[in-house]
Protein backbone atom coordinates (compact mmCIF):
# COMPACT_ATOMS: atom_id res chain seq x y z
CA UNK A 1 0.00 0.00 0.00
CA UNK A 2 1.31 3.45 -0.83
CA UNK A 3 0.40 6.69 0.83
CA UNK A 4 -1.37 8.41 -2.06
CA UNK A 5 -2.63 11.45 -0.12
CA UNK A 6 -0.18 14.21 0.76
CA UNK A 7 -0.31 14.98 4.47
CA UNK A 8 1.59 17.29 6.76
CA UNK A 9 3.31 15.65 9.75
CA UNK A 10 0.62 17.17 11.98
CA UNK A 11 -2.23 15.64 9.97
CA UNK A 12 -0.45 12.29 9.97
CA UNK A 13 -0.33 12.40 13.77
CA UNK A 14 -4.04 13.19 13.94
CA UNK A 15 -4.90 10.35 11.57
CA UNK A 16 -2.86 7.90 13.65
CA UNK A 17 -4.62 9.15 16.79
CA UNK A 18 -8.07 8.56 15.27
CA UNK A 19 -7.05 5.06 14.24
CA UNK A 20 -5.76 4.17 17.71
CA UNK A 21 -8.80 5.58 19.50
CA UNK A 22 -11.17 3.82 17.12
CA UNK A 23 -9.60 0.47 18.06
CA UNK A 24 -10.53 1.07 21.71
CA UNK A 25 -14.04 2.47 21.41
CA UNK A 26 -16.97 2.65 19.02
CA UNK A 27 -17.25 6.42 18.55
CA UNK A 28 -14.35 8.87 18.20
CA UNK A 29 -15.08 12.44 19.30
CA UNK A 30 -13.08 15.62 18.85
CA UNK A 31 -12.49 15.74 22.62
CA UNK A 32 -11.06 12.20 22.55
CA UNK A 33 -8.60 13.25 19.86
CA UNK A 34 -7.64 16.43 21.73
CA UNK A 35 -6.94 14.42 24.89
CA UNK A 36 -4.93 11.83 22.97
CA UNK A 37 -2.75 14.33 21.10
CA UNK A 38 -2.58 16.86 23.95
CA UNK A 39 -3.94 19.92 22.16
CA UNK A 40 -6.96 22.23 22.40
CA UNK A 41 -10.22 21.27 20.72
CA UNK A 42 -10.17 24.17 18.19
CA UNK A 43 -6.88 22.83 16.82
CA UNK A 44 -8.45 19.41 16.37
CA UNK A 45 -11.47 20.87 14.59
CA UNK A 46 -9.23 22.61 12.05
CA UNK A 47 -7.27 19.41 11.48
CA UNK A 48 -10.46 17.39 11.02
CA UNK A 49 -11.49 19.73 8.23
CA UNK A 50 -8.16 19.12 6.54
CA UNK A 51 -8.58 15.35 6.77
CA UNK A 52 -12.19 15.61 5.58
CA UNK A 53 -11.16 17.70 2.57
CA UNK A 54 -8.74 14.92 1.61
CA UNK A 55 -11.44 12.26 1.85
CA UNK A 56 -9.85 10.49 4.82
CA UNK A 57 -12.63 10.97 7.36
CA UNK A 58 -16.34 11.61 7.61
CA UNK A 59 -17.18 14.25 10.21
CA UNK A 60 -20.06 16.61 10.82
CA UNK A 61 -20.12 19.32 13.55
CA UNK A 62 -20.64 17.74 16.99
CA UNK A 63 -20.69 14.27 15.39
CA UNK A 64 -18.34 11.33 15.58
CA UNK A 65 -15.19 11.13 13.48
CA UNK A 66 -15.23 8.12 11.14
CA UNK A 67 -12.35 6.92 8.98
CA UNK A 68 -13.15 6.32 5.33
CA UNK A 69 -11.69 3.24 3.64
CA UNK A 70 -8.86 5.35 2.24
CA UNK A 71 -8.39 6.96 5.66
CA UNK A 72 -8.09 3.56 7.33
CA UNK A 73 -5.61 2.32 4.72
CA UNK A 74 -3.51 5.46 5.10
CA UNK A 75 -3.59 5.23 8.90
CA UNK A 76 -2.50 1.59 8.79
CA UNK A 77 0.41 2.54 6.54
CA UNK A 78 1.44 5.24 9.02
CA UNK A 79 1.23 2.79 11.91
CA UNK A 80 3.31 0.21 10.04
CA UNK A 81 5.89 2.86 9.27
CA UNK A 82 6.09 3.84 12.94
CA UNK A 83 6.39 0.22 14.12
CA UNK A 84 9.06 -0.57 11.55
CA UNK A 85 11.22 2.43 12.34
CA UNK A 86 10.97 1.88 16.10
CA UNK A 87 11.85 -1.80 15.69
CA UNK A 88 14.88 -0.91 13.56
CA UNK A 89 16.19 1.66 16.04
CA UNK A 90 15.61 -0.62 19.03
CA UNK A 91 16.20 -4.17 17.75
CA UNK A 92 18.93 -3.53 15.18
CA UNK A 93 20.68 -0.31 16.24
CA UNK A 94 20.34 -1.15 19.93
CA UNK A 95 18.83 2.11 21.17
CA UNK A 96 16.81 2.03 24.38
CA UNK A 97 13.05 1.55 23.98
CA UNK A 98 12.19 5.10 25.05
CA UNK A 99 14.87 6.70 22.86
CA UNK A 100 13.87 4.54 19.88
CA UNK A 101 10.23 5.59 20.25
CA UNK A 102 11.08 9.28 20.56
CA UNK A 103 13.52 9.39 17.67
CA UNK A 104 11.26 7.22 15.56
CA UNK A 105 8.49 9.80 15.96
CA UNK A 106 10.85 12.57 14.89
CA UNK A 107 11.99 10.99 11.63
CA UNK A 108 9.07 8.74 10.65
CA UNK A 109 7.37 11.41 8.53
CA UNK A 110 10.25 11.32 6.04
CA UNK A 111 10.13 7.55 5.46
CA UNK A 112 8.71 6.62 2.05
CA UNK A 113 6.74 3.43 1.27
CA UNK A 114 9.78 2.09 -0.62
CA UNK A 115 12.09 2.76 2.35
CA UNK A 116 9.53 1.11 4.64
CA UNK A 117 9.38 -2.08 2.58
CA UNK A 118 13.16 -2.32 2.33
CA UNK A 119 13.61 -1.67 6.04
CA UNK A 120 11.20 -4.53 6.77
CA UNK A 121 13.15 -6.77 4.41
CA UNK A 122 16.41 -5.82 6.17
CA UNK A 123 15.02 -6.60 9.63
CA UNK A 124 13.62 -9.93 8.40
CA UNK A 125 16.93 -10.82 6.73
CA UNK A 126 19.03 -10.03 9.79
CA UNK A 127 16.76 -12.03 12.08
CA UNK A 128 16.39 -15.07 9.78
CA UNK A 129 19.71 -15.39 7.94
CA UNK A 130 22.11 -17.93 9.56
CA UNK A 131 24.82 -15.27 9.37
CA UNK A 132 22.57 -12.78 11.09
CA UNK A 133 20.55 -13.32 14.26
CA UNK A 134 21.39 -12.34 17.80
CA UNK A 135 25.04 -13.39 17.69
CA UNK A 136 25.62 -11.20 14.63
CA UNK A 137 23.86 -8.28 16.28
CA UNK A 138 26.00 -8.80 19.36
CA UNK A 139 29.17 -8.41 17.29
CA UNK A 140 27.66 -5.40 15.55
CA UNK A 141 26.88 -3.68 18.86
CA UNK A 142 30.59 -3.79 19.73
CA UNK A 143 31.28 -1.52 16.77
CA UNK A 144 28.98 1.38 17.69
CA UNK A 145 31.85 3.18 19.42
CA UNK A 146 34.14 2.64 16.41
CA UNK A 147 36.06 -0.10 18.16
CA UNK A 148 38.30 -1.82 15.56
CA UNK A 149 37.67 -5.51 14.97
CA UNK A 150 40.75 -7.61 15.74
CA UNK A 151 39.33 -10.88 14.40
CA UNK A 152 40.29 -12.70 11.23
CA UNK A 153 37.12 -12.25 9.17
CA UNK A 154 37.74 -15.40 7.10
CA UNK A 155 38.11 -17.57 10.17
CA UNK A 156 35.15 -15.90 11.84
CA UNK A 157 32.86 -16.54 8.88
CA UNK A 158 34.04 -20.14 8.59
CA UNK A 159 33.14 -20.77 12.23
CA UNK A 160 29.51 -19.68 11.82
CA UNK A 161 27.04 -22.46 12.50
CA UNK A 162 23.47 -22.49 11.25
CA UNK A 163 21.31 -21.94 14.34
CA UNK A 164 18.58 -24.34 15.42
CA UNK A 165 15.36 -23.04 13.90
CA UNK A 166 13.02 -25.17 16.02
CA UNK A 167 10.71 -22.49 17.52
CA UNK A 168 9.60 -24.78 20.34
CA UNK A 169 13.01 -25.54 21.83
CA UNK A 170 13.83 -23.91 25.16
CA UNK A 171 15.93 -20.79 24.65
CA UNK A 172 19.06 -20.17 26.74
CA UNK A 173 17.71 -22.22 29.61
CA UNK A 174 14.48 -20.20 29.70
CA UNK A 175 10.86 -21.30 29.59
CA UNK A 176 9.71 -23.73 26.92
CA UNK A 177 8.76 -21.81 23.79
CA UNK A 178 5.21 -21.91 22.49
CA UNK A 179 3.05 -20.01 20.05
CA UNK A 180 1.10 -16.84 20.70
CA UNK A 181 -2.30 -18.48 20.22
CA UNK A 182 -1.59 -20.69 23.26
CA UNK A 183 -1.13 -17.82 25.71
CA UNK A 184 -4.00 -16.86 28.00
CA UNK A 185 -5.25 -13.30 28.65
CA UNK A 186 -2.80 -11.52 30.93
CA UNK A 187 0.16 -13.64 29.85
CA UNK A 188 3.20 -12.03 28.25
CA UNK A 189 5.73 -13.40 25.81
CA UNK A 190 8.79 -12.34 23.84
CA UNK A 191 8.68 -12.99 20.11
CA UNK A 192 11.31 -15.50 18.99
CA UNK A 193 10.48 -15.80 15.29
CA UNK A 194 7.70 -15.82 12.75
CA UNK A 195 6.92 -18.65 10.36
CA UNK A 196 4.34 -19.46 7.70
CA UNK A 197 3.47 -17.82 4.43
CA UNK A 198 5.68 -14.88 3.47
CA UNK A 199 2.76 -12.51 2.90
CA UNK A 200 1.25 -13.31 6.31
CA UNK A 201 4.64 -13.01 8.02
CA UNK A 202 5.25 -9.64 6.39
CA UNK A 203 1.78 -8.36 7.43
CA UNK A 204 2.46 -9.39 11.04
CA UNK A 205 5.85 -7.68 10.98
CA UNK A 206 4.17 -4.60 9.51
CA UNK A 207 2.18 -4.33 12.73
CA UNK A 208 5.31 -4.25 14.88
CA UNK A 209 5.41 -7.94 15.79
CA UNK A 210 9.09 -8.65 15.17
CA UNK A 211 11.63 -10.90 16.95
CA UNK A 212 12.48 -9.47 20.36
CA UNK A 213 9.21 -7.58 20.77
CA UNK A 214 7.28 -8.19 23.99
CA UNK A 215 3.59 -9.02 23.64
CA UNK A 216 0.77 -9.21 26.15
CA UNK A 217 -2.47 -11.02 25.39
CA UNK A 218 -5.26 -8.69 26.50
CA UNK A 219 -8.38 -10.67 25.69
CA UNK A 220 -9.87 -13.35 23.49
CA UNK A 221 -13.09 -13.20 21.52
CA UNK A 222 -15.84 -15.57 22.80
CA UNK A 223 -14.70 -18.32 20.41
CA UNK A 224 -11.02 -17.50 20.84
CA UNK A 225 -10.73 -15.67 17.53
CA UNK A 226 -9.54 -12.94 17.09
CA UNK A 227 -6.91 -12.38 19.78
CA UNK A 228 -6.40 -8.87 21.16
CA UNK A 229 -2.77 -8.09 22.01
CA UNK A 230 -0.60 -5.18 23.07
CA UNK A 231 2.79 -4.77 21.40
CA UNK A 232 5.14 -1.77 21.43
CA UNK A 233 2.44 0.26 23.19
CA UNK A 234 -0.22 -0.42 20.56
CA UNK A 235 -3.37 -2.52 20.71
CA UNK A 236 -3.75 -4.93 17.81
CA UNK A 237 -6.08 -7.72 16.75
CA UNK A 238 -4.75 -10.97 15.23
CA UNK A 239 -6.58 -13.93 13.77
CA UNK A 240 -5.88 -17.15 15.63
CA UNK A 241 -4.19 -18.67 12.57
CA UNK A 242 -1.85 -15.66 12.46
CA UNK A 243 -1.03 -15.95 16.16
CA UNK A 244 -0.20 -19.63 15.62
CA UNK A 245 2.66 -18.55 13.32
CA UNK A 246 4.35 -16.53 16.07
CA UNK A 247 6.78 -18.44 18.30
CA UNK A 248 7.09 -16.81 21.72
CA UNK A 249 8.98 -17.33 24.94
CA UNK A 250 6.70 -16.79 27.98
CA UNK A 251 8.05 -14.11 30.31
Q: Where are the domains of the chain?
A: 9-67, 74-128, 178-250
Write down the CATH number for the domain with range 178-250.
2.30.30.90
Query: Cα torsion for 116, 119, 123, 126, to the nearest 10°?
Result: 160
Q: Which residues of the chain have pLDDT under 50?
A: 1-2, 162-173
Is the distance from CB of 113 to CB of 1 less than 8 angstroms? Answer: yes
Please give the pLDDT value at position 59.
Answer: 93
Cα gap 29→126, rounded to integer Å: 42
The three-class DSSP label of residue 5 is coil
pLDDT one-digit tens code per residue, 157-215: 555 554 444 444 444 445 578 899 889 888 999 888 887 767 777 777 777 788 888 89
Please give the pLDDT value at position 135.
Answer: 64
Helix spans in the chain (H): 9-24, 30-37, 41-53, 69-87, 97-107, 113-128, 133-141, 153-158, 198-206, 240-243
Fold matches, 9-67 and 178-250 = no
Please give the pLDDT value at position 1.
Answer: 45
Q: Domain 74-128: which topology? A: Diphtheria Toxin Repressor; domain 2 (1.10.60)
Please give the pLDDT value at position 240.
Answer: 86
Cα gap 244→153, rounded to integer Å: 39
Q: Domain 9-67: which topology? A: Arc Repressor Mutant, subunit A (1.10.10)
Please give the pLDDT value at position 167.
Answer: 43
Please give the pLDDT value at position 170.
Answer: 44
Please give the pLDDT value at position 35.
Answer: 92
Does the predicted TM-score (pTM) go above 0.75? no
Amino acid sequence: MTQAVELTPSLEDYLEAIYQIQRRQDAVRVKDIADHVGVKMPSVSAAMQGLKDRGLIVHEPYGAVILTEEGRDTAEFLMRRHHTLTAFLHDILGLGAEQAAEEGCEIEHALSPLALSRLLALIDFIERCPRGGEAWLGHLSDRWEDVPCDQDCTACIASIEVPDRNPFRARRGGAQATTLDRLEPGQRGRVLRLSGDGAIRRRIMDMGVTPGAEIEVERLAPLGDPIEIEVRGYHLSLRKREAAQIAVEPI
